[in-house]
Amino acid sequence: MQESYPVIAKVPTHIFTWGKWIEESLGDQKEIVLCITGNPGLPGFYTQFLSTVYECLNKELPVWVIGQAGHDEADDSPYKKPVPPLQGNENMYNLQGQLQHKIEFIRKYVPEDVKIHLIGHSIGAYMALELLKIPDISDRVQHCYFLFPTLERMAGSKNGFIATRLVNPVWFALRWFYRMFALLPLFVRTWIIYLYYLVDGIPKYYLGTGLKYMNPDVIDKIWFLAMDEMKKVNELDVETLAKNKQRIKLYYGTVDGWVPVKYYHELKQRIPDIEAELCTRKYEHAFVLRSAAQMGYSVEQVSAFIQLAVSVRNEKLCRGTQKIGNHLLKIRSSQLTVVGEGFNVSSLWTNYVNIV
């Protein structure tokens, strides 16, 4: 695993990679996996999940994760760089600015001949869907996997109601609290966060990321983006989903305060043949905190599907139709033994046949 803070869209941005680093030549590798985080957009919260995904891919494909602009500031050199403040730079940190941030990253670091498997979590799924409307980006996207996707009516969800009607009116008081918290000595802040993690069942593995999260300037940007999401994420983009349904898979939760189960059922009514499934293990919306490894194994079939797509394309180019058939039979036999909670094997097999 490698990490750094390259400047993207004028903002130092925390990037983690497994496999090739973003500035390394990919050589003959023509596929990557790119994850767009939710909000809060600190990629440190995604390391355990994506490490598991990388393992499920047999470490054959590079896996990259990009956070949200301004949500993760480096503590020390050599990574420490000035981050533009929120005031006066609102267009860099709102929803459209965050989308432009991802566009610039892809255009700068992903070669045009490399295909992308996009994983979008929460608002990251919304951004990934928007990327499919941009021709030069869409042409590079092989598949999209939307996890607990906030694609519509965010303000109308339970958590959206709490955020907009209950929390936002008293946000000025909360701002005073977390700014006072930041003045405490580091060891005191660390112990408070550690105790909170202990009570809430969050692994201490994320303690360092939690400390970064409590940076007042970071919280300001997180909340600013959240309120912009409430205003702008309203109607479901049925047209784009239907147009790209063959390369999109969606994974909904049953205990998700941001995405009610009815959103899943309504989606299936409007686009019956889209690949969308409900989690039955009651993973939370913020699954990266308490169920990262479990979720990583749950989407093992997604990883397997990526491998299938790559393998089939390589077989077509290099070995001819007969060897593809033999490979397909071997994969089919092995995939039927997979036990997971992610996308079901029958749908995986159907899409594999469609690729062939």
DSSP state of 344: -
Q: Are strands 11-12 and 248-252 parallel, antiparallel or unpaired?
A: unpaired
Q: Are strands 31-36 and 63-66 parallel, antiparallel or unpaired?
A: parallel
DSSP state of 349: H
Quickly count: other Cβ atoms within 10 Å of residue 294's Cβ. Answer: 15
Q: Single out the residue of 227, 218, 212, 233 nearest to residue 86, CA to CA.
A: 218
Catalytic residue from among 72, 101, 122, 298: 122
- Whether 71 and 92 have beta carbons less than 8 Å apart is answered as no
CA–CA distance, 242 with 35 (Å, rounded to integer): 22
Q: Is 121 a catalytic residue?
A: no
Catalytic residue from among 143, 157, 285, 303: 285
Q: Single out the residue of 20, 72, 19, 23 nearest to residue 43, CA to CA.
A: 72
Catalytic residue from among 71, 256, 291, 311: 256
Q: Partners of 69 in the beta sheet? A: none
Q: Is 298 a catalytic residue?
A: no
Q: Is 285 a catalytic residue?
A: yes
Which residues have a catalytic role annotated? Answer: 122, 256, 285
